[in-house]
Amino acid sequence: MRAEASREEGSPADGRGATSSPLLKTELLSVKFGGLAALSQVNFQLARDEVRAVIGPNGAGKSTFFNCLTGVLRPTGGRIIFNGDDITGLRSNLISQKGIARSYQITNILPNASALENVRIAAQSRRHAWNMIAHHAGFADINERAEAALQSVGLLAKANDLAANLSHGEQRNLEIGIALATEPKLLCLDEPTAGMSAAETNETKELIRRIAKNLTILIVEHDMEVVMELCHRITVLHYGRILAEGTPEEIQANPRVLEVYLKT
């Protein structure tokens, strides 16, 4: 936190949460795959209650960035500070306990469990130690939490349907529900509308807008309409570095960003 004063990013003028300490901060975060620098010295700050998009052309380092934040990948350099704790290199389950949840680019659900069971397993990971004797269905608080998560992603009516029988869009939203059931402080969404029809995209957009009311969200997305409508600020990655950061309007007006998108 001391280093902050010497850096100019995160100007206090940009609205929500800018006055309190950032929920998430990376310092000189770097990942190398052999000789390839997938992320180079990324200094990133995310304010509480902010909805932030990370965009960039193919291979910019977006997924690598997510993978570092969620413990899927160990950074080769730099630090990740979340909610005041250094979480650099922690395993993904421990990071999840700290309050970062994510959805994946590829749907990640238990197809042979019901929608409710899918979210209940996630809810359980927060409330109780593993218990061999009592069935998890018996814990009222877990059930409540799970149902609330299903409700917030619009799937309560399908609680008892097998996840495999849900539509593609519903499965993607169920995955968000699973993440929500862990009661995260930060939700990372990796291409939440990938492979969705225009109608499904709209529904998911509304869903994210709803849950964003009391949650900090980091989102990787290629659908610019979704990005521009939902996000307060946008970070543009290019070749593993931050190329630009700003409001949707600022990013849209930035000629450098357009350049890397069109490869001119």
Binding residues for another protein, rule: CB under 8 A, are: 55, 57-59, 167-168, 171, 191, 194-198, 201, 222-224, 227, 236, 251-252, 254, 257-258, 261-264
Task: Indicate the helix (H) or strand (E) that contains 39.
Answer: strand 36-46
CB of 183 to another protein, least distance (A): 28
Q: How far apart are alpha carbons 247 and 264 in whole angstroms?
A: 23
Nearer to another protein, 99 or 240 (CB): 240
Q: How far is the CB of 167 from another protein (least distance, A)?
A: 6
To another protein, the closest distance from the beta carbon of 180 in angstroms equals: 22
Shortest Å, Cβ 201 to another protein: 7
Q: Closest CB to another protein among 55 and 80?
A: 55
Q: Closest by alpha carbon to 219, among 44, 62, 35, 47? A: 62
**Phi and psi at residue 26, to the nearest 5°:** -120, 145
State which residue, 101 or 236, has the beta carbon closest to another protein. Answer: 236
At 256, the amino acid letter reads: R
Helices (H) and strands (E) counted in the chain, each on its own, are: 9, 10
Gap between the Cα atoms of 191 and 154, Å rounded:
19
- Pick between residue 215 and residue 244 the one whose CB is nearest to another protein: 244
